[in-house]
Structures are given as C-alpha cells and as structure tokens.
Amino acid sequence: MPSSIPAILLPAPTTRTSFYKVPKPINPTARHSASSAKMSTIIKDNATPSELLLKALSQHLPYSLPTLRRLQVMKTGPQTSDSHVLSTFDKESLEIDFLVAFLDFSQGPQTEMWMYSSIENPATPCNEALCEDQVLKLLERVAEIEREYKAKRETPGILLIGTLYDRIFQLLEKHSMVKMKTQQHFKFIFKVQDLPAGRQLPDGFSWSSIRASDIPLVLSRTVIPYKELVNFLSNSW
C-alpha cells in the first residue's frame, strides 16, 4: 500500500481569519492551463452512499479501503444528521476520474473526513489536472458546509482528514493548505489464510475479547501521536 498520513490538519478554504491565517477560497480553474480551465467539477452532496458509489470504490481496492469501509459502516450502523457523502459523479454512471469523501463535523476533534481520489490508484491512468480540480472543489464545498454548521467546533477553520494519501497531501501542500500533519505511516494488508498459526500462551494467560472498559487502560499506556495531536488542537482553540 502507498504510504499515507493518518491525520492531516487542513485549513478549509474559508475567509474566516479570527483563529489563524488561512487562504481565501481558491479558484482552482485559475491555476490550470487554458484547456484545463474549462473543466467544470460539481460536488454532489448526499445523505447516504449509492450502490454505484460503493461499486466504484470497490473497483479501486485496496487503495480505496479506508473510505469504502467508512461508507459501508454508514449504511449499516449509526450515523448523524451532520453526515455528508460528497462525490463527483451522479447515480447513473461511473467516471474514470472521480472523488468520494465522507464528512461529519460532529465527529470533531476526532477524524472528520475520509476521502478517496482515483489519482491514488497507480494501476489506472488519470487526468491529474482534473483530479486536482476535484480535490479543490471538494474543499470549497467543505468550507460551505462548515459555515452552515450550527454547533460550536473545537477547531474552527480546520478540517481533520484521516488516512490521507501522500499524493493528495503533496497537492494540498502545493496550494499552501496544510496546517499540521502526523508522521507518515504504512498500511499492510494480509489474507487471513496466509497468517501463521497462533502460538501457545504461557501458563496463566488466555485469549479473550477486548471489553469497552479495557480501552481507557490501553490508551493510557500507549503513545499515540494522533491522540496527542488532537489534544494539542483542542487545547489551542
């Protein structure tokens, strides 16, 4: 799997400057060539993911896995009234170059958005200028949603994105939109049937399920850069 960034703090394209200096809304077409400037990306906003959208993500596995799993959970598990499924294609047809994202500001200061762009898949050709336009238009839409969001946010003007692919991260850096980031990390996917057999545990130990009451103990004894970053942000606003 390509290296990814588990959480990157992104100044959403907004004119709000009371918390920190952020770029004003970007006009992506102004940054492209004359032919690229004719692109017209429309970000569609739906309450739930369509089967076509899930099919598109499934065809881009394993690169689309984080976003696909988050949307699958949305269909089968609880969701909030602040959930948004943002995408670049309609319900009738698939597109070669596309973007899909799940956004929920009510989840802050934990991860607020997962996104996948077809530019992440090295096995498929892509129009890089179009994919860049799609990412920037997505963030413009996110900024609009933030302005309409009524509840108080702990990190206003900042969007916390999880499992962000390094190629998109570089694109955001190019537009000076990165506020803060965690260290890069790698993901590894294994087939269950290929995993080695379990070892015999020492006397007095046994395998068991993790209980909800065990989680605070695990977190308190584990150095988690993501958790520390979230705490820093929450205490900075």
Domain boundaries, given as residue ranges, for the chain: 4-195+211-236
pTM of the full predicted structure? 0.72
**In which order are the strands placed within the sheet that holds 180-181?**
44-46, 83-87, 99-104, 113-117, 158-165, 4-11, 180-181
Cα 14 to chain centroid distance, Å, stands at 19
pLDDT by residue for the chain (237 residues), tens digit each? 544 433 334 433 332 222 222 333 333 333 333 334 345 788 999 888 888 899 999 999 999 999 999 999 887 777 788 999 999 976 666 778 999 999 999 988 788 999 999 999 999 888 999 999 999 999 999 999 999 998 988 888 888 888 888 889 888 888 888 877 777 777 788 888 888 877 788 899 888 888 888 888 887 887 766 666 666 666 665
